[in-house]
């Protein structure tokens, strides 16, 4: 019963679109109507500035961290933690408060995965940074990082590998349009 309550809470927390809310507070347009039309930190960076994008990133990370870390401290099973992480990401992707039009959930997934271990979180960040810096594609960095996450989990904390793999598959499915644009050479780079 406690797992179900946390899953619902995680979805509702995930549904709070920080990109839309922060843009509204800053007098900026809805990020779903600008740039890549994705309500995430990268698109907010394209249409605004670094402090605004960092605020979006931080809140998106916390949407994954808070429910998963809370459930971890309550002693829930790794499988249940995976379901809670997925619920938070689904809330970000399909927010009930914003007509089910959300983002890709990369930062929320990172926040949900970070409690696995600090070394695991560090490897994810390093992978994303190296790929993003090398290629200038935020989406490619996310795709490669999330694809390697189950391997990293298996090497660092094998107990969580099935849950990490479930989340990785969800994020990859959400990036299918980015994958197509990368393959066809039409994906936007960032500065």
CA 143/CA 128 separation, integer angstroms: 9
Q: Band of the pLDDT at 191, cuts 50, 70, 90?
A: low
Question: How many Cα atoms within 13 Å fall on the side-chain side of residue 63?
Answer: 32
pLDDT, mean of residues 161-184: 92
Asked if residues 108 and 89 have their Cβ atoms less than 8 Å apart, the reply is yes
pLDDT, mean of residues 45-60: 93
pLDDT, mean of residues 162-182: 92
φ/ψ bin of 105: left (φ > 0), alpha (ψ from -120 to 50), beta (otherwise): left
Q: What confidence score (pLDDT) does residue 10 get?
A: 97
Mean pLDDT of the chain: 92
For the whole model, what pTM was predicted?
0.89
Asked if residues 103 and 56 have their Cβ atoms less than 8 Å apart, the reply is no
């Amino acid at each position: 019963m406690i797992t179900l309550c946390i899953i619902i809470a995680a979805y509702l927390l995930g549904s709070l679109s920080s990109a839309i809310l922060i843009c509204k507070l800053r007098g900026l347009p809805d990020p779903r109507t600008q740039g890549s039309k994705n309500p995430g930190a990268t698109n907010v960076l394209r249409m605004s500035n670094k402090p605004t994008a960092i605020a979006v990133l931080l809140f998106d990370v916390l949407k994954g961290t808070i429910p998963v870390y809370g459930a971890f401290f309550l002693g829930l099973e790794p499988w249940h933690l995976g379901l809670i992480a997925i619920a938070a990401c689904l809330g970000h992707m399909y927010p009930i408060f914003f007509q089910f039009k959300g983002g890709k959930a990369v930062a929320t997934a990172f926040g949900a995965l970070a409690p696995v271990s600090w070394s695991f979180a560090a490897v994810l960040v390093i992978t994303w940074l190296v790929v993003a810096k090398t290629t200038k594609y935020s989406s490619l960095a996310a795709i490669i990082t999330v694809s390697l996450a189950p391997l990293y989990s298996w090497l660092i904390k094998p107990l969580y590998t099935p849950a990490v793999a479930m989340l990785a598959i969800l994020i990859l499915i959400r990036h299918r349009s980015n994958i197509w644009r990368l393959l066809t050479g039409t994906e936007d780079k960032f500065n």
